[in-house]
Amino acid sequence: MNRSPWFLLVISLRLSHLTVHIACALAVALVYPALGPAAQGRFMCWWSQGLLRLLKVRHHVCGQPAAARAPACLLVANHVSWLDIFAITASSPARFVAKSEVSGWPLVGWVVQRAGTLFIRRAVRGDTVHVNERMAGLLQQGSVVAVFAQGTSATPEKPVHFHAPLLQSAVAAGARVQPVAIFYHDQQGQRHDAAAFVDDITLLQSLWKIVCCPGIQVTVTYLPPIDSSGQDRRALAQMTQCAVNTALARHLQA
């Protein structure tokens, strides 16, 4: 596809600004673990908001993060894009659980490790138990932890299905579980798939696609939290799944 010189100049400037923003994250990552929780949260919000702004992704929030009222909460969200992490942390700083492959991504892997991301090796039997123990410990300390319970990214044309194992951490810690619905759309509210990180697309290909496609908007909907007391992980997965699917259906029907 031919691009005009003006278009290429604009994209080059945006990529230059993005490079500076990433360099800032690399610099702060050196000292990030030594910062207090409040300073970490402020930086995470600021950097995530800045990233979305530089990518021309307009960010909307519906509802209220449960952690705004009290700490110790497990956020359970659908998964569409690598941008999901920043769409959430722009309004609710959290420790994420990610597949171990992310730790090997150039630069990004190192930064997210420094930010305290928990990595799960899906091919290793029993690793889920270990990660659940670490998640429960964080929740008991009053942290906010986030997990994409689908297990993989997908566009929301079909109802999402949440896997139950990682929700055991909330049961063990007696923490609240808050369903989170993430929906990418255009200015008219219609579904927009340019940010979708699916199939065999690489991170750089996805980034280029997003940069070349202004007008992406994302709405993060924080749904009413669920008390995990007296629940088991399968029941929690069903309840969070139902809440997220209902919210996504409203967006798709708009």
Distance of alpha carbon 151 from the chain centroid? 12
Hey, CA dihedral for 124, 128, 133, 134, is it positive or negative? positive
CA proximity to 144, closest of 75, 224, 219, 59: 75
Other C-beta atoms lying within 10 Å of the C-beta of residue 206: 18
Rounded distance between C-alpha atoms, residue 9 and residue 15, angstroms: 10
The span from the CA of 39 to the CA of 79, in Å, is: 27
For 230, which DSSP code? T
Q: Average pLDDT, stretch 98-114?
A: 83
Per the listing, tokens 């750089």 go with 204
Taking the chain, what is the end-to-end CA distance rounded to the nearest angstrom?
A: 32
CA distance 42 to 60: 18
Q: What is the pLDDT of residues 6-37, one digit of tens each?
A: 777 888 888 899 999 999 999 999 999 999 98
Residue 197's nearest CA partner among 107, 102, 89 is: 102
Phi/psi at 180 (5° precision): -130, 125
- Mean pLDDT computed over 224-231: 91
Structure pTM?
0.92
Domains plus CATH for the chain? 5-253 (3.40.1130)
pLDDT of residue 112: 86
pLDDT at 146 over 80: yes
Tokens of 105: 């991504």
223 φ/ψ sector (left φ>0, alpha ψ -120 to 50, else beta): beta
